Structure 1
């Protein structure tokens, strides 16, 4: 998706701090970080992590998306976003059902294919119409299968909104997803809870997200059976380990990591259900990100070596962020060249996601700040990302 130039979330910290009338020392004290770290984040010598960003946002009474900055859409696509908001608002207002309901599963599968390839523009263009047709069909039939498709479509709305940090739309999508899930199969409620916890994650309320996960795990353990149980518990534990990593809660992270590996082994080879990828490889990609959040960077890189050595079936939605997290670990260990190589991989695999993802933006900002001499590879990538260098 074509967007305006985004300098990186860390560049917004000083702007927000000054707007709040705070000195670096005052903000650092409120957020529980060192003045030295805050100074390095503001000038681009250190990347702003999601955990530190949440602490800084809380200290300034801001939401995380306000601090990180929302990703914009091209002017030509603004009407698509307006159409999507219109479709979401009309969740409870039945209209004419589509003439060919047999085509709806294929339309949803096509949307998920765009999602897996991180084709954000294509998802935005097609989502309003698919959401409208699927919702109207569910109202007309009332079947659990139809409402499950509604819930799955709202999961895509949440995903698209979260990628752009459109948090109002993300939270509204989660509300509609939960409402649809109540009329669908039990596993739909588990997916909705996973997305609800994701909305807490995206807003920076990691403890709130953990509470959602803990509650949903208890409900899934009693409501789900067989493969649905392994899938549902697995995706909840993946969300849990991510939240625990952001909280720097190692015991909780390790608990969810062990549970995620256990359910992934029970589930078997990676597969897609309800628009979500789960299995051992997906688990590994989340564990790598959490090790990076916990500053266990060498462990993250070693785990990635094991995952990538024989190739992986993971979709671009996971491979792109995986390389971003590897870049983060390389940078933390002082290997700028490896960090740049990882960032290049992320842009190669998932360019539209890399353009709007805060981790990618921060890697680009810090690498361009730290490189005091010309670097042709970085110059080419910065030009593609619309970052002056």
Structure 2
């Protein structure tokens, strides 16, 4: 089956379901999904939850990306630029262990480190094009460094390389290159092991758990995270630094995500409580960013809202989304992601004006993240279907995503 960017998630599910020989009722019985939910998602009247997508994909022997239509290549020059670095990143990841003499001489490590800092700024702002333009050179040079240097310099280079592999993983996964993301996850673990830094290893394990999340193997993902939490706690001691608290708290938040997608309310509540307790250790009650991860009271509240959506407590999620005001100090990538989740909650309670406003805000805060986010795109499609006469703002937002959906 070929995929068009103008197709909806629901139309793809319906097409693949029919190819597999299922009626809607048979599919509901086999996948243990609600028949009503299947009908509404296929008709474009309801946004699927992540749990729904994972279950549907697994039942149909597909990836979630095949159902969402990623990667979204688009037809504009800006779309081509954001996808352009993927081939180079793929080649560098493939050649990671080849002899150092096969590589060009890298710049001084302190010079490379400054560019890594700049890439970190781009990643936090979800500036995918700018990030992608830096990453291939950084990955190539830092790979050469870890092969050529020794001692503390090698450890420093390995920490920087682990950081860049994480940023490359983020770029690949956000753009929908799941196969490449899986490879980059392994390279991140390799670089982190060379760094001999428990926090880099914690980041690698936190990232690895996402693979189990994608596979809907939530129990294994949660167990891996629990093991990682224990190992990290043992490494950093009873009085962890703020950076260590950020990693430990982020592990708890990822457990919240996985437990909620498994629709395990007790586990979700437990990990939320654990995250809140860890957030009490964050200085001044202000969320901190370390090793690309954000943790504190506010990001814990953001994860709580997303979890309530997955647990189908959409009224609770919407009420908490209205009450939560994210500070400007929060990374744009976190603010944008939350605003997309808020739109999902508002659509679920049929407050389409609030959903539209949230999506418009997400576009303003993190335009590239919003443009390439499958839930944002699907949310606009749902809004288009309910604003056929008076939805000029919806139509404008739809056109911005790169496809004219107003006639669908």
**Which TM-score bucket, shorter chain as reference?**
over 0.9
Deviation at 1:9, TM superposition (A): 2.6
| Deviations, residues 285-325 of structure 1 (Å, cap 9, x unaligned) | 2222112222223333443344307x342111111111111
Deviation at 1:168, TM superposition (A): 0.8
SS in 1 for 2:280: helix
- Determine the structure 1 residue equivalent to 2:186: 175
SS in 1 for 2:281: helix
Task: Provide the TM-score with structure 2 as the length reference.
Answer: 0.89
Deviation at 1:281, TM superposition (A): 2.1
Cα–Cα, structure 1 residues 154 and 304, in superposed 2: closer, same or farther, change >3 Å? same
Matches within 5 A, 1:33-182: 33-73=33-73, 74-75=79-80, 79-93=84-98, 94=100, 95-142=103-150, 143-182=154-193
Deviation at 1:137, TM superposition (A): 1.4
1:319 to 335, 338, 349: 335
Structure 1 unaligned runs (5+)? none
- Determine the structure 2 residue equivalent to 1:262: 277
SS in 2 for 1:182: helix
CA–CA distance in structure 2, aligned partners of residues 307 and 223 of structure 1:
34
Indicate conservation of the 8 Å contact 2:82/2:128, yes or no: no
1:249 matched to 2:279? The reply is no
CA–CA distance in structure 1, aligned partners of residues 323 and 347 of structure 2:
20
Indicate conservation of the 8 Å contact 2:5/2:69, yes or no: no
Deviation at 1:236, TM superposition (A): 0.5
- Determine the structure 2 residue equivalent to 1:347: 363
Indicate conservation of the 8 Å contact 1:46/1:366, yes or no: yes
Moved more, 253-262 or 202-211: 202-211
Task: Provide the TM-score with structure 1 as the length reference.
Answer: 0.93
CA–CA distance in structure 1, aligned partners of residues 399 and 247 of structure 2:
42
- Determine the structure 1 residue equivalent to 2:223: 211
1:199 to 211, 224, 227: 211
- Determine the structure 2 residue equivalent to 1:23: 23
* Greater relative contact order (CA < 8 Å, ≥ 6 in sequence): 1
Structure 2 unaligned runs (5+)? 74-78
SS in 1 for 2:289: strand
CA–CA distance in structure 2, aligned partners of residues 275 and 78 of structure 1:
22
